[in-house]
A = this chain, B = another copy of it.
Amino acid sequence: MSELRQDRLSGEWVIVAPERGARPRQLKEHGHDAATPAHDPNCPFCPGSEAMLTEILAESPTQTPPGWLTRILPNRFPALSPDAPAESRTEGIYGAAGGRGLHQVIVESPRHDTDLPFMNDESITAVVAAWQRVHGEMIAAPGVEAVFLFRNRGLKAGASLRHPHSQAIATHFVPPRLAAREARARTLYNETGRCPLCEILEFELGEGSRVFLESEHFAAMVPFAATCPFEFLIVPRRHAACFSAVTKEEAAELGEVLRETLRRLYDVAGDPPYNLALETASRGEANSPCQHWHLRIAPDITTPNGFDLAAGMPVNPRLPEADTEALRTATTKRN
């Protein structure tokens, strides 16, 4: 029997329908490509391919010397650009505006064939440090109202290149989903006097059936109203609205937790494609008592359908508590 569940952070509703898991071919096919070379001479992100990137390196203030662990580059095919007009206008009966903003790429390793679950301590720490640097520079840039750091892993999740990388987009406005989430957090805060995610974390740590990993500074949990199989959050225990507040010690631990949870996802779900998003406060809410940054990992295992298109309600064919159990016990299979 299916049920409806409301996400407390977004206010959005999801249909949890585990019976649908019995359908033939319900999960996308995926698999690890063992034949990937450590370096691909045609990959623009590999060391030795710097010549391909001359143009964008020339305009980049963030060149990285030889021996690099991570590189930060302007996106060559930007969704938003700093020289677009920012003004909104009308086009007949429609609203429109220039696509002003920033779009950068973080190359996460010199190696073409690795990925976050398989990095050593130095490399994974460098990735989190690069995220902190990009986020910090972008949120401080003139006119920027919000920063989105994200990662599309696997061609099926929108990645156009195999080489491990993430992206960051800065907008000159607060986009609708972030605005809605922040407004909802303020409403809940006014009702309860508490940060909603602090409250969720306390509830889930006590309840236990959706938390699958705890460390000193973080907890990893499947949302009560997960929108897709194996969706999970990495939540800092310490309240902070903005990712900029992360300390050096927390950053190091975040790398470890990220690597471990993504490794479990890899083991349990068979290297699925996924989208990862840093959900952090907009500039105006950076010190808010009711916003609370976190990472969201949403495996792109099932596909959107016409019902979600019209109704705006995802159908999750897996029970969030069953996913939690699988992610909790994954590590014992490995050790």
Chain A residues with a Cβ under 8 A of chain B: 1-6, 8, 12-13, 15-17, 19-20, 22-26, 77-81, 83-84, 88, 91-99, 146, 148, 150-152, 155-158, 160-161, 167, 169, 171, 175-178, 180, 199-200, 203, 207, 224-225, 275-279, 296, 298, 300, 302-307, 309-313, 315
Contact = CB atoms under 8 A, between A and B. Distances in A.
A306 B224 CA distance: 20
A4 B156 CA distance: 25
Given A78-B2, A93-B8, A96-B3, A26 B310 contact: no
A28 to B, nearest CB: 8
16 contacts: A2-B79, A3-B99, A6-B94, A17-B77, A17-B78, A17-B99, A20-B77, A20-B78, A20-B79, A92-B207, A148-B310, A150-B305, A152-B305, A157-B304, A158-B304, A177-B313
Contact of A91 (B79, B169, B224, B303): B224
Residue from the set A156, A225, A310 with the largest chain B CB neighbour count within 10 Å: A310
A310 B277 contact: yes
Contacts of A88: 4
B157 A305 contact: yes
A279 B81 CA distance: 34
As for how many copies of this chain the complex holds, the number is: 2
Contact of A310 (B12, B78, B296): B296
Contacts of A224: 91, 94
